[in-house]
Amino acid sequence: MNVVITGASQGIGYAVAELFAKEGYTLLLCSKTPENIQKASASLQAKYPQARIHFMPANLSNKEGCVDFANWCLGLGTPSILINNAGHFSPGNIADEEEGNLEAQLATNLFSAYHTTRALLPKMLLAKTGHIFNICSIASLQAYAQGGAYSISKFALLGFSKNLRLELQNKGIKVTAVCPGATYTNSWAGSGIEESRIMESADIAKMIFAAAHLSSQAVVEDIVMRPQLGDV
């Protein structure tokens, strides 16, 4: 069973990859930085020799990168699970954020999932089975200060997820939107926020793994997770 994970070199993407690798799945991983995805893949393979780890550096902020990665994945077989995790956070307010921030956030947080999914879907539709997870955010559900273009892009990703679910619900393919709140990744390093205050990447991974292993007649449509003490 092939599991495709984008943005898999760190954070939530790596945590999800680690959980599936532990269970012996075949993983098809990508990240923008070649040395990061190579290092992450080597680490996973060393820890979980029962898994088959394949990786490809890919910049999914442009359509060509998405299509190239998807075609590489299809060369290794039809995916059973696709986890669209590639994304980027850049804070700012709509009125004064850096010019081009919206375009950049949409490219990485929305279009990467859109184009990668579209390139993989024909083979998944032929298989009449599969599960697509889109890593959205609490920022997909509510506005917040300094959210700006990031929140707009994540609202759009949730909308994409809902439309995709409707289109695929009678075709054997499940779609789950994952909306985590503050989760400790490298982006929180140096923030002054204690790791114990926010969620672990492994928490998100466990929920995704559980949702991926339900009966064929059940789907978790949305996963919403927040720190126990509330949003930061």
- What pLDDT digit, counting tens, does each position of 36-69 carry? 999 999 999 999 999 999 999 999 999 999 999 9
**3-state secondary structure at position 130:** strand
* Whole-angstrom distance, CA of residue 110 vs CA of residue 154: 7
pLDDT at site 211: 98
CATH topology of domain 2-225: Rossmann fold (3.40.50)
Q: What tens digit of pLDDT does each residue of 176-196 get?
A: 999 999 998 776 766 778 888
- Which of 3, 161, 7 is CA-nearest to residue 80? 3
Residue ranges in the chain whose pLDDT is less than 50:
none
pLDDT at site 185: 79
Q: Tell me if 12 sits within 8 A of 199, measured CB to CB.
A: no
pLDDT at site 184: 82
Q: Whole-number mean pLDDT of the chain?
A: 96
Question: Which of the residues are catalytic?
Answer: 150
Q: Tell me if 41 sits within 8 A of 89, measured CB to CB.
A: no
Percent of the chain past pLDDT 70, that is, above it, reads 98
pLDDT at site 187: 67
Starting at the edge strand that comes first in sequence, how are the strands of the sheet with 173-180 ordered?
Answer: 52-57, 26-31, 2-5, 81-84, 130-135, 173-180, 222-225
Specify the pTM.
Answer: 0.96
